Amino acid sequence: MRVMAVLIRREFWEHRSLVFAPLIMCVVYLALSVLASANFHMGSVYFGDPDRQMPASFSSLMHIMFTGLLYVLTGCVTFFYLSDSLYAERRDRSILFWKSLPVSDSMTVISKLLVSLIAVPLVVLALSIVTHLLVLATFKIGGLIQPPRTPVPHWTLFSWFKLNGILFLDLFVFALWYAPIAAYQLLVSVVAGRAVLVWTVLPPLVLIFGQKLLFDSWSIGQFVLYRMGALSFGGGLSGSLDDAIDGINALPLLTLPDLWIGVAVAAALAFAAIRVRRHRDDS
């Protein structure tokens, strides 16, 4: 466990965009919230609406939407991280240094999977929770300063724990769901000699468009989209608070055979990546 912790810290040291990208988005969101709670004019733009009151579920919906946007942004950053992680160490020959240490290939590959599927989403969720609490405080302070003009979002302790508890559990469910995609990227990263991004997206595109040309079918493309976008929001902006929270519950995915088949495929791909890395020490 101590070695794994060091390897995970190494990934954050070498790939600081994994933290800085969502952190910048949190700062922007907080700055916009400060402007929205100020109720002032800037040219023809008016910040704040004294005649509109937030519904009771609005604070939860803001949290859900912002967390979703953070995960989308982090997913893009993680995509490039996975594509480059095992290739970069061969390109700059740092793999020779890491192989000289008492760190197995299995530990190295598994650490990168844990960073992309567990550690980074945990950091994003923590940033989202802290940022949203600051946003709520901003609206609350604005309401205390200008009570008739600033809408104050309503919040209950039970809804806060329920929402973030589901978001926390979703994190591990989606780690299992997206594991085969992450393992596939690591395998390409350790196999490709150059142009890793091209070799990552080219095989799926060839299969998708090849199937369309030969069999006039998009089933492979539909499967790829299904695998990359499992989350759907059952509640909307007009729904109740409970509907909005229950709409992001991903626990039912655990009953799908697709998830566990994907976990088995991810294990096979990760094993292949470990075996290939064991015999690759340069690009």
pLDDT of residue 113: 93
* pLDDT single digits (tens) 88-122: 777 777 666 666 777 788 888 899 999 999 999 99
The H helix count followed by the E strand count for the chain is 12, 2
**Domain assignments of the chain as residue spans, ordered by start:** 2-41+53-278
* pLDDT single digits (tens) 175-203: 999 999 999 999 998 888 788 888 889 98
Q: Which residues contact 232 (CB under 8 A, 6 or more apart)?
A: 247
8-state DSSP, 12:
H
pTM: 0.81
* pLDDT single digits (tens) 8-37: 888 888 888 889 999 999 999 888 877 766
The helix (H) or strand (E) run that includes residue 122 is: helix 120-145
**Cα 126 to chain centroid, rounded:** 12
Token couple for 100: 């000289």
8-state DSSP, 147:
T
